[in-house]
Amino acid sequence: MNFEENTGILLTAIHFSADRHRDQRRKDSLKSPYINHPIEVAELLWRVGGIRDEAVLLAAVLHAVIHDPVPDIRTLSIGIPEYLAQLVEQLLDKDPARRPQAVLPRKCPQESRADR
């Protein structure tokens, strides 16, 4: 997949998540919109964790909807490849035993520096 396809999928997932959380507020003092949380999680994974895997970022954006029935991400109507849809569904599974333990074998940035 190319940048345009990845960006389109991620933006559609953000929109989907925002729609699912449209009436929810966070419990912070500002009562900020709940959608801020999944967006912050995805952004932290990108910026701090160095995660570039689209399935992990999609799962971050969609993770909070597991409190509702887990959505079929194929309903986003943007042509998510089947392998990606299956991986995101596994990452969002409510049963931790059915989630992949390691999506991608990668070291966090701190570990990489310590190994030098």
For residue range 14-36, list pLDDT tens digits in order: 888 898 889 999 998 999 999 99
Query: What is the model's pLDDT at position 84?
Result: 74
Distance from C-alpha of 115 to C-alpha of 107, rounded to nearest angstrom? 10
Query: How many Cα atoms occupy the beta-carbon half-sphere of 98 within 13 Å?
Result: 9
Say if pTM beats, i.e. exceeds, 0.85.
no
Structure token pair of residue 10: 């991620």
Return the percentage of the chain with pLDDT > 70, whole number: 71
**106's torsion region: left (phi>0), alpha (psi -120 to 50) or beta?**
beta
On whether the CB atoms of residues 83 and 91 are closer than 8 A, the answer is no
On whether the CB atoms of residues 9 and 2 are closer than 8 A, the answer is no
- CATH superfamily for domain 3-114: Hypothetical protein af1432 (1.10.3210.10)
For the chain, give every domain's residue range.
3-114
Of 23, 32, 101, the residue nearest 68 (C-alpha): 23
Name the residue with higher pLDDT: 13 or 96.
13
Is 53's pLDDT higher than 80? yes
Distance from C-alpha of 38 to C-alpha of 110, rounded to nearest angstrom? 24
Distance from C-alpha of 44 to C-alpha of 93, rounded to nearest angstrom? 21
